[in-house]
Amino acid sequence: MGNCGEAMDFKILHKDKNCRARTGKFNTLHGEICTPIFMPVATQGTVKALAPVWLDEARVEALLSNAYHLYLRPGLDIISKAGGLHKFMNWPGPIITDSGGYQVFSLALLRKITDEGVNFQSHINGDSHFIGPKECLRIQEAIGSDICMVLDECVAYPCPYEKAKLAVERTLNWAKTARALKLSKGRQIFAIVQGSTFQELRKSCAQELVKLDFDGYAVGGVSVGEPTQLIYDIVSFTLNFLPQDKPRYVMGMGTPQDIIENIGQGADMFDCIIPTRYGRTGTAFTCEGKINLRNSIYANDFNPVDSECGCYGCRNFSRAYLRHLFYANEILGLELLSLHNVYFYTDLIAKIRQAIENDCFLQFKSAFLERYKA
């Protein structure tokens, strides 16, 4: 089989005595990942509106990029000539690359899925391409990813049982093909559990993937239209069948509430576009909930965005100034608020880690959510 596990040494540092929340760490080719962790999304080799120096300011530890988008633009040749994605984008820390399975789902009009893989047209210029499980991992290896995700088939919600079952069968077959592939030493491979909202499919998919002994496992195919509580139920149920001694990654989640809820169920890793997307549209996350700085109430508000935040924006500027920047169409507004939101997320994760170490995660969760609602 392939080289899963050569660089992986996931260590659970502490389990909260009162729930399933835990802290841990493992090594990658570009440094250590401590968990729980939130990874900002750098789809095309950049976190929108944030230069690497801002990522340092926000104490970001790892990023998620997208193999599908980088394969199409700028292309593997340019990334390879640059010395890999880390050097190309000047980011020294760990990078995870999504397989592109979600893009297969979201660009449904441009692709055709077969048992061998995905035939698709580029959304950029219409060129025809094929990506199967082997091609998917080779693309991520060429990019220089530290953690490569196996190609999977994600389905929409609601989904008929038979369609979800077929997607699971393809996901498992692609995982078996990928598992046999030999990557360069140290690159880790995570498999993705599918199964829509059907517990039977989620359980069987997870159990079959665990038999293949990947470096880590992700819960995929959630947050595609389901009600929030159903998402939580799916994730919680699926985590029951994933190994305790491997990282567990919930893909595409989400809000602060989503992250706290799923950490309490034993999840370790998260990514989402929400912090930067909201930041670019004027919405800030604060300890007391979301605020829209475009609202007139903030025109004469000279307080920081969040009085308890230590980011560069909150240390130096007011809500009134940020509102002015947005209405003046100044790029700095997008940058400062994106920075603030990412900082808010990483700071939340740091507090959660501390709460778990002190066996008081449930108290922290309750206090945070009560205040956040306010």
**Which of 288, 332, 337 has its CA nearest to residue 308?**
288
Q: Are 303 and 318 in contact (CB under 8 A)?
A: yes
- Choose the catalytic residue: 152, 215, 271, 347: 271
Structure tokens at 150: 């196996």
Structure tokens at 284: 């800030």
**Catalytic residue check, 98:** yes
Residue 271: C-alpha distances to residues 60, 95, 331 (Å)? 12, 12, 24
CB-count burial class (<10 Å; 0-12, 13-18, 19+) for 68: buried
Return d(Cα 97, Cα 69) in angstroms, integer: 10
Q: Are 210 and 217 in contact (CB under 8 A)?
A: yes
Output the CA torsion sign for 89, 53, 30, 11. negative
Taking CB atoms within 8 Å and a gap of at least 24, the contacts of 360-365 are: 360/16, 360/18, 361/16, 361/18, 361/19, 361/21, 361/263, 361/264, 362/16, 362/18, 362/19, 362/264, 365/260, 365/264
**Catalytic residue check, 77:** no
Cβ-based neighbour number of residue 122 at 10 Å: 15
3 state DSSP class of 141: helix
Q: Are 249 and 218 in contact (CB under 8 A)?
A: yes
Return d(Cα 42, Cα 34) in angstroms, integer: 19
- Choose the catalytic residue: 98, 146, 215, 268: 98
User: Phi/psi of residue 117, each to 5°?
Assistant: 160, -150
Active site residues: 98, 271
